[in-house]
Amino acid sequence: MGAVDVLYERFEKNLQAVNGNSWLADKAEAAGIIAQAYKDEGVDSVCIAESPLLQEIGLAKALADAGMEVYTDHLRLHAETAKGGVLEAQCGIADLGSIIQLSDDIDNRIVAIMPEYCIGVVRLSEIVDDYDAMFDKLCSLETLPAFVGFITGPSRTADIECVSTVGVHGPLKLSIVVIKDV
Amino acid sequence: MANEALKQEIKSALSNKTLGRTLGTFCETYPERRLKSYEGVDFEETRENIRRVKGYAADHIDEMIEEFTKNCTARGGHVFHATSADEAIEFVRNLVKEKGVQTIVKSKSMASEEIHMNKILGDDGVLVQETDLGEFIIALEGNTPVHMVMPALHLNKEQVADLFTDYTKVENKPIISEEVKTARKVMRDKFTHADMGVSGANVAVAETGTVFTMTNEGNGRMVGTLPKIHLYVFGIEKFVKSLSDARYIFKALPRNGTAQRLTAYLSLYTGANEVVLDKETDEKGPKDFYCVILDDPGRREILAEESFREIFDCIRCGACLDVCPAFALLGGHVYGSNVYTGGIGTLLSHFLVSEERAEQIQNICLQCGRCKEVCGGGLHIPEMIMKLRERSMEKHPNPTYKFALDAVSDRKLFHSMLRIASIAQPAFMKQGQPMMRHLPMFLSGLSEGRSLPKIAQVPFRDVFPTIEQNVPNPKGKIAIFTGCLLDFVYIDTAKAVIKDLNSIGYIVDMPMGQSCCGAPATYMGDRENAKKTAELNINAMAAENYDYIVSACPTCTHQIREYEQFFQDDPEMLAKAKELGEKSYDFCKLFHMLGGLSDEGDGKELNITYHDSCHLKRSMGVFKEQRELLTHTKGVHLTEMKESDNCCGFGGTYSIKFPEVAAPILERKVEHIKETGADTVAVDCPGCMMQISGGLDARDIPVDVKHTAVIIAEKRGLM
């Protein structure tokens, strides 16, 4: 197994440990996987925070072809009712199963937090080893984006009787598609 | 000290079954879950770094404020530096008025609690909504947080369902997953309609003007994503210099707080980040971004005080609560502050909330030191609480305790009281048992749920001259410091110490001028009497005449080692105190060090379990030596009990002040002992010995409690 596969497997294992799941996919497969995932969960409306990568994989079309209502603008409005949200995250951390938004784009932030089922897309080449590597990367940026967000699994709480419950104000479900670009 | 209102609150906390069950389970499982979350991360190194970076910020606080303000402003944010709580809340009130804000959604901000933001804005007619599930629940209940990280632990799912039913006017079933869904639904509408979001910062970075917020539920994200106005309120203790410095805090905070390697969300906001200004037109632009830095006189007071300055290193993880034996029983409400609870809460309340309240609650601390082991900022919480006690004792001396402590620090008076007690006590003896239910005089009120030992008819100081020490070619001379319990109660333990040391070639002497070590006075905050006994013992022990000083009571050893603090401006006494401190060891450490480890033993089966004394394990770091000594002894089998280093509840004078708290702590210890099936509990502290044997006796459990020195002497046939 190559170093890249090991990295992905670590990412997947750690994401699963916080109740998320992931797929490793070629660009050609990615849109299909996302469409299938939403179909399986009965999601019929999805907000996409478009990015060159999400456009390149043809996500909006794939979801529409699968019969879903797809929104790529007015996301603040539509995310109030849409069940799914897809964003591209700029980085990932293998050791934690985290994805990191390095962008002030408000649409990106809206789809990450409002819909019930969030799917993040991240390039395998952008997954760093661990937390410290991620901080080193942040520190090396010339200008820190006005927003940086780490997402590690779906939202959760243990506020009632210390019973761990997944899905509170943020997504109830979180999946990550890792794009095999190396 | 422990006034009636506080006693009443303690009683009510102890009778809350949900709190007991939930908090009990949480605290019991916490240490292991926490440890697991640190796999691959060096905790000591992490907290060293936290101390370093937070210490740096504290030393350069004005620079931090200035730099943060400059950098946040450069990125389009607005920063208000409030030099008092009043200034802070006035700024917020005006902002709210000026912007026409009617509804606010809030994720956790402790600083906003300090300035009573919810109440004051509420009175102005603004709807302030707490969005964290736990905070939301207690807001519905009209209560304050019972825990800094888990605010609604005291309520069960049935009570939550009732509160939700009242609020939503729809029946809510007592099913946790359903209740969480209700919270999502209720809050969703608030998030999408709020005019303003309010957040608290876990860290603020001066160099970049960045604020960090950690949440699990995603409410923090909603607050930072949807409203067009976003206000941060945080205290000056949140600063670090660089982005890189911030990393250390988020290594420890989730692990210590909730035993997570990272929470679901960690968000960094740098200045006026983007927001949707009009959802119908999809117009976007920078939000109105405000930071209020709370720099009130209480915070400056902390910085100005050398002995309390490290409070700034606190990362608000709550670990000190989770390992505190008293907190595990009581929860946070008895700490009385709406904001901070537990050991750290006692300190923060003193400076930031209410000195009066802090004065009462500082006594809840057992001084067991468990919090220090896990503290994310490496704070010396018990020592600082002790300093507060000293201050309050100076300010408001308690006549009863003062009388007792004056008596104890007067050797002749104290010793004659004990001698009188030894004659008066047979009337109190339990039938046919060498135990008594009540001690006379100032020690009464001590015996809830346990029996107390008998005071010896003949104290050890009178027995000592009759002990034959047959040591040909002695290797050295050791002075024994007996402390009160060995001198007047556990005579056999003192004898065993001498016999054991004789057996490895040392002669033992007992300087007769010695008295109480002074720990009771110290724990009660009576520095004057503590110093008086220190002086008396330093002169009496004449350390210059001996190779070592041995004590079989870790509390005494610890106290003796601390004597030098009393004589910082008296070079002659300081030198003597140092010599005494440096030569003083606890029995098992010294015996092990001088070659006492041996396989000798009568070979007769003895099943033991071991209880670690707080001082021996945590203050002196001795826990291996005595186990080695015991397990090498032929015939001895050691079965470790659960939580062997959890306090037994004795805590010096604690069991006098809070018998209702000490009793369940002891109960738990007794249960863990029973579970091992051992026939003897080995201990190294006569205080623990008294507490545990009292607990076992009161429950008629036939398990012996013996000092390590006694077990060794018996098994090696030395006495």
Higher pLDDT, A12 or B423: A12
- Give the model's pLDDT for residue B653: 67
Chain B positions in Cβ-Cβ contact with residue A136 (cut-off 8 Å): 244
- What average pLDDT is seen over chain B? 91
Residue B524 binned pLDDT confidence (cut-offs 50, 70, 90) = confident
Higher pLDDT, B89 or B21: B89
For B475-516, what is each residue's pLDDT tens digit? 999 999 998 889 888 999 999 999 999 999 999 999 999 998
Higher pLDDT, A4 or B707: B707
3-state SS, one letter per residue, for B231-282: EEEEEHHHEECCHHHHHHHHHHHHHHHHCCCCCCEEEEEECCCEEEEECCCC
Residue B421 binned pLDDT confidence (cut-offs 50, 70, 90) = low
> Closest residue of A to B267, CA-based?
A149
Q: Which of residues 2-61 of A touch B (CB under 8 A)?
A: 18
Question: How many domains, chain B?
Answer: 3
Same domain, B332 and B213: no
- Give the model's pLDDT for residue B441: 33
Same domain, B96 and B226: yes
CA-based torsion, B671, B676, B678, B684: positive or negative: negative
Q: What is the pTM of this model?
A: 0.89
Same domain, B219 and B365: no
CB A158 within 8 A of CB A169: no
Contact A113 B242 (CB under 8 A): no
Same domain, B280 and B209: yes
d(CA B398, CA B536): 24
Same domain, B25 and B44: no
Instruction: Please state which of the ranges B159-173, B272-286, B353-367 shows the lowest mean pLDDT.
Output: B353-367
Query: In this model, does residue B435 exceed pLDDT 50?
Result: no
CATH number at residue B211: 3.40.50
Using the structure block, give the residue that is written with the tokens 């102005």. Answer: B124
Same domain, B111 and B208: yes
Chain A positions in Cβ-Cβ contact with residue B150 (cut-off 8 Å): 158-159, 162
Mean pLDDT over B225-238 rounds to 98
Query: In this model, does residue B585 exceed pLDDT 80?
Result: yes
d(CA B532, CA B541): 14
CA-based torsion, B54, B56, B61, B63: positive or negative: negative
Same domain, B218 and B364: no
d(CA B214, CA B199): 10
- Give the model's pLDDT for residue A3: 82
Other Cβ atoms closer than 10 A to B55? 16
d(CA B33, CA B322): 12
Same domain, B88 and B237: yes
Higher pLDDT, B6 or B309: B309
Q: What is the DSSP string of B173-236?
A: -S-HHHHHHHHHHHHHHHHHH-SEEEE--SEEETTTTEEEEEESSSHHHHHHHS-SEEEEEEEG
Query: In this model, does residue B372 exceed pLDDT 90?
Result: yes
Same domain, B126 and B222: yes
Same domain, B236 and B103: yes
Chain B positions in Cβ-Cβ contact with residue A163 (cut-off 8 Å): 176
Question: Which pair of structure tokens corresponds to residue B686?
Answer: 């006569």
| Domain-located, residue B518 | no
Query: In this model, does residue B445 exceed pLDDT 90?
Result: no
For A99-136, what is each residue's pLDDT tens digit? 999 999 999 999 999 999 999 999 999 999 999 999 99
CB B640 within 8 A of CB B609: yes
Contact A160 B267 (CB under 8 A): no
Same domain, B211 and B103: yes
Query: In this model, does residue B432 exceed pLDDT 50?
Result: no
Residue B450 binned pLDDT confidence (cut-offs 50, 70, 90) = low
Query: In this model, does residue B103 exceed pLDDT 60?
Result: yes
Higher pLDDT, B251 or B654: B251
Mean pLDDT over B435-463 rounds to 60
CATH number at residue A14: 3.40.50.10420
Contact B180 A135 (CB under 8 A): no
Chain B positions in Cβ-Cβ contact with residue A149 (cut-off 8 Å): 221, 265-268
Q: Name the pairing type of β-strands A173-179 and A21-25.
A: parallel
Mean pLDDT over B635-643 rounds to 96
Residue B425 binned pLDDT confidence (cut-offs 50, 70, 90) = low
Q: Kindly state whether A85 is in contact with chain B, defined as any CB-CB distance less than 8 angstroms.
A: no
For B241-273, what is each residue's pLDDT tens digit? 999 999 999 999 999 999 999 999 999 999 999
Question: Which pair of structure tokens corresponds to residue B8?
Answer: 């009443």
CATH number at residue B622: 3.40.50.10700
Chain A positions in Cβ-Cβ contact with residue B18 (cut-off 8 Å): 161
- Give the model's pLDDT for residue B440: 35
Q: Kindly state whether A112 is in contact with chain B, defined as any CB-CB distance less than 8 angstroms.
A: yes
User: How many interface pairs between A and B have CB atoms less than 8 angstroms apart?
Assistant: 174
- Give the model's pLDDT for residue B337: 63
Query: In this model, does residue B400 exceed pLDDT 70?
Result: no
For A25-84, what is each residue's pLDDT tens digit? 999 999 999 999 999 999 999 999 999 999 999 999 999 999 999 999 999 999 999 999
Scanning A51-166, the segments in alpha helix (DSSP H) are: 52-56, 59-65, 75-78, 106-113, 131-140
Question: Which pair of structure tokens corresponds to residue B212?
Answer: 């960090």
Q: Kindly state whether A159 is in contact with chain B, defined as any CB-CB distance less than 8 angstroms.
A: yes
CA distance B167 to chain A (A): 17
Same domain, B238 and B126: yes
Chain A positions in Cβ-Cβ contact with residue B155 (cut-off 8 Å): 160
Contact B262 A96 (CB under 8 A): yes
Q: Which range marks the domain in which residue A26 is found?
A: 3-179
For A134-168, what is each residue's pLDDT tens digit? 999 999 999 999 999 999 999 999 999 999 999 99
CB A84 within 8 A of CB A75: no
Query: In this model, does residue B617 exceed pLDDT 70?
Result: yes
Higher pLDDT, B389 or B96: B96
Contact A160 B221 (CB under 8 A): no
Q: What angle do CA B63, B68, B73 make, to 5 degrees?
A: 135
Residues 6+ positions from B386 with CB-CB distance below 8 Å: B367, B522, B523, B525
CA distance B247 to chain A (A): 7
- Give the model's pLDDT for residue B447: 46
CA distance A114 to chain B (A): 8
C-alpha closest to that of B249 among B65, B108, B46: B46
Question: How many domains, chain A?
Answer: 1
Q: Which range marks the domain in which residue B29 is found?
A: 1-37+321-347+355-370+380-395
Other Cβ atoms closer than 10 A to B568? 10
CA distance B679 to chain A (A): 37
